């Protein structure tokens, strides 16, 4: 089975993020869920973003690096929305990545905001809603398509009908049970190929 490092979204390590991790654990995988917020959760995206960008925010890259440091290099890095920043960065820069799962966010691999090229041989699966104001409306979907074009057969982009953000978090009002079931099935199948 596969070892996954899953980074939470901007509202924190909510019960819904833990539940998603538990679904992957039930399929036989080891899933680590570091809490980059030190126990804080926020009731809205806006409040979580204010904390993550505020003066008291910790060095999230350093915390993510520390979370990965004692784990095998052959991890699958996963992130939900805000957490994709760390997951994608580590998948692209930490030697030995086994794969990446990017949910509801995606960084470009070329241009000003790029971490760098996609590493050869690292499969990636990207998920998002087709009318989500953040994923579809802020250019993440274009970055996802760029990765698929660059990586080819080792990259998958799945679009779900709807406009919810954080749809896989069962503890939030944006939760979409049907989309989450399909997302989970696709992730489990992806992990089974690694």
**What is the Cα–Cα distance from 141 to 107, expressed in whole angstroms?**
9
The answer to whether residues 22 and 6 touch, using CB atoms and an 8 Å cutoff, is no
Residue range 91-110: mean pLDDT, rounded: 96
* pLDDT > 90 fraction of the chain, expressed in percent and rounded: 95
Per the prediction, the chain carries an average pLDDT of 96
Residue range 182-186: mean pLDDT, rounded: 98
Residues 60, 147, 105, 3, CA torsion sign: negative
Range of the domain at 59: 3-192
Q: How far is CA 164 from CA 54, 97, 161, 172, in A?
A: 25, 30, 9, 11
- The pLDDT score that the predictor gives to residue 116 is 86
Number of domains in the chain: 1
pLDDT confidence tier of residue 167, bands split at 50, 70 and 90: very high
Write out pLDDT tens, residues 23-77.
999 999 999 999 999 999 999 999 999 999 999 899 999 999 999 999 999 999 9
- The pLDDT score that the predictor gives to residue 112 is 80
**pTM confidence score:** 0.97
The residue among 83 and 114 whose pLDDT is bigger is: 83
Q: How far is CA 158 from CA 3, 30, 133, 155, 182, in A?
A: 22, 23, 16, 10, 10
Q: What CATH number does residue 76 fall under?
A: 3.40.50.1820
b/e 28-65 (16+ beta carbons within 10 angstroms → b) = ebebbbbbbbeeebbeebeebeebbeeeeeeebeebbe
């Amino acid at each position: 089975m596969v070892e996954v490092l899953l980074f939470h979204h901007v509202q924190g390590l909510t019960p819904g993020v833990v539940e998603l991790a538990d679904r992957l654990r039930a399929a036989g995988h080891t899933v680590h869920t570091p809490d980059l917020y030190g126990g804080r959760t926020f009731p809205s995206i806006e409040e979580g973003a204010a904390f993550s960008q505020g003066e008291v925010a910790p060095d999230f890259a350093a915390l993510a690096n520390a979370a990965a440091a004692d784990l095998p290099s052959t991890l699958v890095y996963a992130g939900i929305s805000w957490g994709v920043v760390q997951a994608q960065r580590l998948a692209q820069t930490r030697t030995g990545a086994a794969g990446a799962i990017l949910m509801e966010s995606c960084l470009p691999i070329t241009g000003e905001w790029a971490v760098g090229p996609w590493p050869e041989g690292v499969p990636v699966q990207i998920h998002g809603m087709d009318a989500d104001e953040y994923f579809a409306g802020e250019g993440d979907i274009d970055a996802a398509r760029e990765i698929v074009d660059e990586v080819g057969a080792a990259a998958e982009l799945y679009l779900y009908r709807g406009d919810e953000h954080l749809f896989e978090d069962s503890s939030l009002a944006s939760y979409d049970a049907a989309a989450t079931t399909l997302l989970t099935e696709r992730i489990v199948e992806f992990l089974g190929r690694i």
